[in-house]
Chain A
Amino acid sequence: DTGVSQDPRHKITKRGQNVTFRCDPISEHNRLYWYRQTLGQGPEFLTYFQNEAQLEKSRLLSDRFSAERPKGSFSTLEIQRTEQGDSAMYLCASSFKGGHEQYFGPGTRLTVT
């Protein structure tokens, strides 16, 4: 098993552009989570999926953010009309089921100029 993977690892974009990140969880895990981490802080929860269903969204996830997990496997996180405040590390995690250990990917670092 190769663990959780994320693509791209780094993204630099200009303010106002749209960006999309991808996360591939551990294959047998049905739960997938997105977190955001700003410099010097701990990660903050954004949203999670059980299979293809998005079951919870944080208030941090404004209407410019959308996440999908169309076939219950990989997930995408899209940010529309990026703002400088969106600059952060976006982390994806997966777990076998609720309450189980979460395994994190390497993250996607977004810089909005």
Chain B
Amino acid sequence: KQEVTQIPAALSVPEGENLVLNCSFTDSAIYNLQWFRQDPGKGLTSLLLIQSSQREQTSGRLNASLDKSSGRSTLYIAASQPGDSATYLCAVLKAAGNKLTFGGGTRVLVKP
């Protein structure tokens, strides 16, 4: 059974510092991995999707890497801003599967 872990559960950084969020998964047979942002009481916003054949994806200040063999993904957010404060969730889609398996999320606070 796939298990997804995100450590740390919470992170507080001063504005301008780079953020590094970690995601690990136990079964490397994945089809893709998605990173999401969730604001309090809201739904999920997709940030990046990495296919299993890819090593990384970039969008603006966001960069996500994937090491499938070691079961790890990292989300980097450059030059953090207070508006980046949110919970970040990673989720994996099993190869030939249909459901996303989520980690517990990392709650990020960027202090001005």
Contact = CB atoms under 8 A, between A and B. Distances in A.
Given A42-B91, A45-B99, A48-B99, A102 B105 contact: no
A33 B93 CA distance: 13
B102 A44 contact: yes
B24 interface: no
Nearest to A99: B31
Interface residues on A, range: 20 to 34
B98 A104 contact: no
Given A42-B104, A91-B43, A107-B42, A33 B89 contact: no
Interface string B92-112: 010000111111110000000
A105 B43 contact: yes
A102 B36 CA distance: 10
Contact of B46 (A44, A99, A102, A106): A102
Nearest to A109: B41
A58 B98 CA distance: 12
Given A102-B34, A104-B36, A109-B41, A45 B100 contact: yes
B99 to A, nearest CB: 4
B77 interface: no
Given A41-B104, A42-B89, A99-B93, A107 B99 contact: no
Contacts of B42: 106-107
A58 B34 CA distance: 21
A33 B42 CA distance: 17
Interface of B: 4, 31-32, 34, 36, 41-46, 49, 89, 91, 93, 98-105
7 nearest A-B pairs in the assembled complex, by CB-CB distance: A42-B102, A45-B99, A104-B44, A106-B43, A107-B43, A104-B43, A101-B49
